[in-house]
């Protein structure tokens, strides 16, 4: 796990200043405190920050092949690298290290850009092919590792974080108004765009080539739903899944440093602990987080139950309201883009705890998106059955139900009422949002006239309709899973997972997002995943005889952080001071009167805690990355 950065001038006669690459690495030092390296080749510069996990003695980067014509900087882990190494050695390739990085180099030598199809793992890397004068960037299939890039008429920049790019004064730092509109619709910035107009995300499952003055991006993988296992018995499916997950977690345990497990007390993380214990003869360290004061759900008793069951060495941390507030500026600094993800704060603190004991942790992220674990899936399926039964009356019933939800201030009732009688893309933006959410429903009322005219022309339903084209003939459940896998998963969940763990120089691995596991889940009958109100049916069946029944049958909690109560009560004055400050109001994004009303209403009934956190996340990101004062904070040392 590392940080990468680089710059390519399109003019072959230009020269990259080494201080520029050093400057790009500087604000990302937390991603690789164990070492750094720079490679220059005229108009190209590559930089690398190393967090040593595998091949501690000879895995330094940038790394090259035998004749120094191909150079790589790599962030991530390749779990099948030993198997690939044997295959490539059989073809005559000579290895000088035990690292997975060198395997990518030789795979590229043998197969060119198609090498990405052979890699099983999480990755973002850049290869400079000096013979072909080609820069090759690639990102893993589901977006576990981030990769940003910026292109203008003179150059192309790339980095693991936005900070690594905007530090170069040649990069224009302009606010992307449409990205703010997208954020308010989804609670995260979905797709390629970022908060900064000139910088884009390389999409998951894509690679980018710069060759002969042309920049081309191509998709090399997508999740496809098949019927490969529809004829298989449920019992055989469960048995196959158990074997697949056991092997997958075993591969994810490969490291030359200690590996631990983050425990939420849920099915997925507890199952990861079970397999991790099986994969090693050593005691596994586990970590969980709780919160001081009143909270709806406390994850810690369930985490302790799993830790006791599997004999781990368990560690806990508790955070307070003040811990939450004091971390928020740092949250914005590391997240880099506005994301309404309060659990990210908890993840930061538990990662900080874990770093005292291990350098790598596993988590259960991804099981819900692969196997249908969120409550909205069975709820939407129930609505679909009502729609089918009522026919032309569905829209009338939906309108009445939606009106009742609005009148009673019942957001869920309003949302589900709106869904009746409408195409899926018109209401299912992702599991986090929809057209009845606050900012989508009231954006014309809430946004300033100038900002609305500038940013609100794009409607999220159009974006989702485009994403859904490859699965237009699939079942309703698979369509929802696909939308979440393409939006919420890479742009919210995995952003949080990467940024908060790397902020503490710790590597997070997510076995349930191995592409073989995702492809397995995509080959199952929908009722193997969701049946009636039962979610993650096959996954829970696979662990039924292993996990304590209290964990198997507990109601999904979703890592609850009591932020809504904190924002409503003890932190309300500090929140208002931030969002109604002179510089926040001067941005003229929102009508001050409407913002004041929102904050007042939330302090009275707590109904808009999520919306308040969204606005707070946006404002803090703008302060960190867009205000003039940030230039000094980002400026590299001794950079001309």
The residues annotated as belonging to the active site are 2
Residue of 75, 96, 93, 73 whose CA lies nearest to 84: 93
Instruction: Determine what percent of the chain falls in helix, strand and coil, rounding each to the nearest 5.
Output: 50, 15, 35
Decide: residue 558, CB within 10 A, 0-12 exposed, 13-18 middle, 19+ buried.
middle
- DSSP run (H or E) holding 40: strand 35-41
Q: How far apart are CA 527 and CA 260, in angstroms?
A: 33
Q: How far apart are CA 20 and CA 18, in angstroms?
A: 5
Residue of 456, 466, 460, 407 whose CA lies nearest to 433: 460
CB-CB contact of 250 with 279 (8 Å): yes
Q: Where are the alpha helices (DSSP H) in 336-423?
A: 343-354, 367-371, 376-390, 393-407, 411-419
Pairing of strands 285-291, 313-319: parallel
Q: How far apart are CA 8 and CA 213, in angstroms?
A: 11
Structure tokens at 484: 């979440």
Pairing of strands 134-139, 148-151: unpaired
Asked, as a colleague might, if the bond just before 62 is cis with ω within 30 of 0, I would say yes
Token match 């999520």: residue?
A: 610
CB-CB contact of 415 with 429 (8 Å): no
Taking the alpha carbons at both ends of the chain, their separation in whole angstroms is 30
Residue of 109, 126, 14, 110 whose CA lies nearest to 69: 109
CB-CB contact of 376 with 431 (8 Å): yes
Query: Which residues have a Cβ under 8 Å from the Cβ of 27 and sit 6 or more positions away?
Result: 161, 163, 164, 167, 634
Q: How far apart are CA 51 and CA 509, in angstroms?
A: 14
Structure tokens at 419: 């869904």
Starting from the edge strand earliest in sequence, which strands make up the sheet with 206-211, in order?
Answer: 63-64, 70-78, 121-129, 134-139, 206-211, 214-219
């Amino acid at each position: 796990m590392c940080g990468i950065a680089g710059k390519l001038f399109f003019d072959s006669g230009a020269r990259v200043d080494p201080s520029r690459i050093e400057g790009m690495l500087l604000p990302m030092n937390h991603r690789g405190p164990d070492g750094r390296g720079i490679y220059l080749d005229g108009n190209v510069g590559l930089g690398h920050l190393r967090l040593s996990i595998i091949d501690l003695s000879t895995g330094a980067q940038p790394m090259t092949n035998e004749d120094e014509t191909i150079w790589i900087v790599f962030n991530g882990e390749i779990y099948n690298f030993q198997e690939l190494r044997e295959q490539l050695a059989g073809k005559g390739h000579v290895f000088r290290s035990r690292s997975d990085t060198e395997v990518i180099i030789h795979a590229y030598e043998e197969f060119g850009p198609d090498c990405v199809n052979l890699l099983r793992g999480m990755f973002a890397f850049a290869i400079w092919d000096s013979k072909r004068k080609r820069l090759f960037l690639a990102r893993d299939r589901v977006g576990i590792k981030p990769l940003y890039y910026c292109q203008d008429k003179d150059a192309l920049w790339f980095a693991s974080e936005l900070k690594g790019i905007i530090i170069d004064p040649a990069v224009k730092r302009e606010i992307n108004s449409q990205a703010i509109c997208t954020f308010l619709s989804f609670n995260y910035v979905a797709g390629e765009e970022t908060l900064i107009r000139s910088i884009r995300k390389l999409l998951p499952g894509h690679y980018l080539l710069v060759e002969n003055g042309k920049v081309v991006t191509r998709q090399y993988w997508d999740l496809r739903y098949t019927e490969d296992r529809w004829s298989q018995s449920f019992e055989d499916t469960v048995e196959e899944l158990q074997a697949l997950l056991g092997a997958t977690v075993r591969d994810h345990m490969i490291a030359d440093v200690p590996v631990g497990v983050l425990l939420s007390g849920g099915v997925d993380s507890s199952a990861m602990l079970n397999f991790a214990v099986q994969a090693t003869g050593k005691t596994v360290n586990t970590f969980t987080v709780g919160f001081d004061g009143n909270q709806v759900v406390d994850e810690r008793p369930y985490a302790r139950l799993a830790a006791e069951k599997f004999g781990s060495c368990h560690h806990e941390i508790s955070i307070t309201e003040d811990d939450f507030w004091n971390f928020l500026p740092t949250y914005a600094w590391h997240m880099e883009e506005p994301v309404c993800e309060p659990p990210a704060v908890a993840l930061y603190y538990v990662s900080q705890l874990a770093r005292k004991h291990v350098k790598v942790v596993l988590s259960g992220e991804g099981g819900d998106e692969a196997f249908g674990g969120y409550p909205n899936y069975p709820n939407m399926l129930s609505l679909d059955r009502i729609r089918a039964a009522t026919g032309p009356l569905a829209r009338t019933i939906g309108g009445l139900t939606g009106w009742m939800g609005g009148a009673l201030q019942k957001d869920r009732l309003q949302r589900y009422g709106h869904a009746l009688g409408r195409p899926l893309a018109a209401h299912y933006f992702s599991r986090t949002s929809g057209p009845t959410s606050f900012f989508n429903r009231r954006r014309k009322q809430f946004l300033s006239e100038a900002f609305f005219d500038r940013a609100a022309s794009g409607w999220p339903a159009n974006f989702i309709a485009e994403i859904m084209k490859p699965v237009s003939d699939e079942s309703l459940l698979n369509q929802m899973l696909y939308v979440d896998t393409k939006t919420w998963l890479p742009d919210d969940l995995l952003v949080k997972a990467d940024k908060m763990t790397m902020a503490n120089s710790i590597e997070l691995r997510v076995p349930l997002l191995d592409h073989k596991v995702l492809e397995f889940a995509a080959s199952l009958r929908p009722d193997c995943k969701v049946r009636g109100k039962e979610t993650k049916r096959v996954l829970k069946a696979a662990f039924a005889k292993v996990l304590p029944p209290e964990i198997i049958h507990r109601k999904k909690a979703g890592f609850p952080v009591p932020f809504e109560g904190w924002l409503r009560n003890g932190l309300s004055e500090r929140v208002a001071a931030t969002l109604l400050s002179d510089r926040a109001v001067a941005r003229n994004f929102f009508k001050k009167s409407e913002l004041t009303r929102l904050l007042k209403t939330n302090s009275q009934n707590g109904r808009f805690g999520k919306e308040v956190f969204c606005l707070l996340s946006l404002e803090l990101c703008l302060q960190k990355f867009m205000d003039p004062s940030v230039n000094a904070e980002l400026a590299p040392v001794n950079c001309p």
